[in-house]
Amino acid sequence: MNLPALERLRLFLRPPGRGIFTFSTGGGYATPLLRGIYGSSESAQVQNAWEDSLQRIRRVSTLILGIPSDTGAGILRGANFGPLGVRLAYLKRFGALPKNVVDVGDVIVVPQLLHDEMLSEGQKAATRAELYPGIEEKLPVSPLSIAEEVLNALYELNPQAQVLIIGGDHSVSWPAMLYCRKRCGDNFGVLHFDAHTDLLENRVGVKYCFATWARHALQLMKPHHLVQVGLRTSSHTKEYWEQMLPVTQFWAHEIRGRETEMLEKILAHFHQLKIKQLYLSNDIDGTDMAEAPATGTPEKEGLTAQFVLALSERAKKEFDLIGGDVVEVAPPLSGEWDFAQEKTSLLGAQYLNSLIK
């Protein structure tokens, strides 16, 4: 990439809430968020305030990135509104972000695309002409491919910053895994909350989606550095997965009723492996559906939010939490349109807050 990192970010990102590509319909959803963050939803003012915030990337300790894509989902959708819902709920619950945090905005999402490897040259050229008029460079056009380049640019501008992603379906964790690999080599741990293993090699022949990112991530890290917590819906058993793959699992039924003991056991696993740098991926469906109903694949008999928060806080204290995500929050599935009050978005906001250094 020839363009300077900040230039690339200006092309690949939009102000918070503006990443879902809209023409005449749908742009209004972001208005309350923009007013809440910048005090205005007027385009020129928002653009100026957002560009100022990009200038602060080098000076802060945490960067927040929205990836409003649910093209990688496969059951119920709506996680494309996750970044909007979680940010609105965050504002309502906690107010403005702390001074050491910058929200860099949303990856621009063309909602029919997922990863550039899935596209013909013709489609890539056509979308490039729309997204980046007048630019010769062959820039990425799909949300996961753009996110990979955004994370590269953020790393270039501030290699020490913690990067927190708001998804999006769980496929958005794949570019995050590439980021961890670039930053730490193969020596990083991943603490992964989920009802599902996300360990498929592919799903109906599709390599990149919500069900495969964790399988591919195993190839980027040392054995048993991926720890999955809260599993309860899989076509295979824990024994099957742990024998077949270098993964460590703690299923929901092992944790329920023994939270205090299991929390220590999970943390001890990372310490035994001498892991220092940790990434925390929080699929909100790891939490019981009674507490997190607005998600694409809600499951009962899950983790309590209290346990997930307690483990996240401890992980932040005991490890160098280089990054994390909150994914699969799908506020439209709640049937409510005031996302600032919506239950699952509010929980997502608490999870996000628990990760901020």
Contact positions toward Mn ion, by CB under 5 A? 170, 194, 198, 283
Give yes or no for a contact between 166 and 87, defined as CB atoms under 8 angstroms apart: yes
Query: From CA 17, how far away is CA 139, in angstroms rounded?
Result: 22
Query: Is the CB of 127 or the CB of 345 nearer to Mn ion?
Result: 345
Give the nearest distance from C-beta 116 to Mn ion in angstroms: 22
Helix (H) or strand (E) run with residue 207 in it? none
- Partnered with residue 2 across adjacent β-strands are none
Query: From CA 320, how far away is CA 332, in angstroms rounded?
Result: 34
Residue 43: both structure tokens together: 């385009």
Residue 201: both structure tokens together: 């090699």
Residue 259: both structure tokens together: 């939270």
Give the nearest distance from C-beta 170 to Mn ion in angstroms: 4
Give the nearest distance from C-beta 243 to Mn ion in angstroms: 22
Give the nearest distance from C-beta 43 to Mn ion in angstroms: 35
Give the nearest distance from C-beta 351 to Mn ion in angstroms: 14
Query: From CA 354, how far away is CA 307, in angstroms rounded?
Result: 12
* 8-state DSSP, 31: H
Query: Is the CB of 297 or the CB of 353 nearer to Mn ion?
Result: 297
Give the nearest distance from C-beta 182 to Mn ion in angstroms: 22
For residue 203, what are the CA distances in angstroms to 95, 194, 294?
40, 18, 23
Alpha helices in 1-42 (DSSP H): 5-12, 31-38
Query: Is the CB of 57 or the CB of 166 nearer to Mn ion?
Result: 166
The closest of 164, 236, 226 to 196, measured between CA atoms, is 236
Query: Is the CB of 158 or the CB of 312 nearer to Mn ion?
Result: 312
Give the nearest distance from C-beta 200 to Mn ion in angstroms: 11
How far is residue 190 CA from its own chain's centroid? 13
The closest of 275, 177, 170, 190 to 220, measured between CA atoms, is 177
Query: Is the CB of 116 or the CB of 194 nearer to Mn ion?
Result: 194
Give the nearest distance from C-beta 300 to Mn ion in angstroms: 16
Query: From CA 229, how far away is CA 231, in angstroms rounded?
Result: 6
Q: Which residues fall within 8 angstroms of residue 240, CB to CB, at 6 or more apart?
A: none
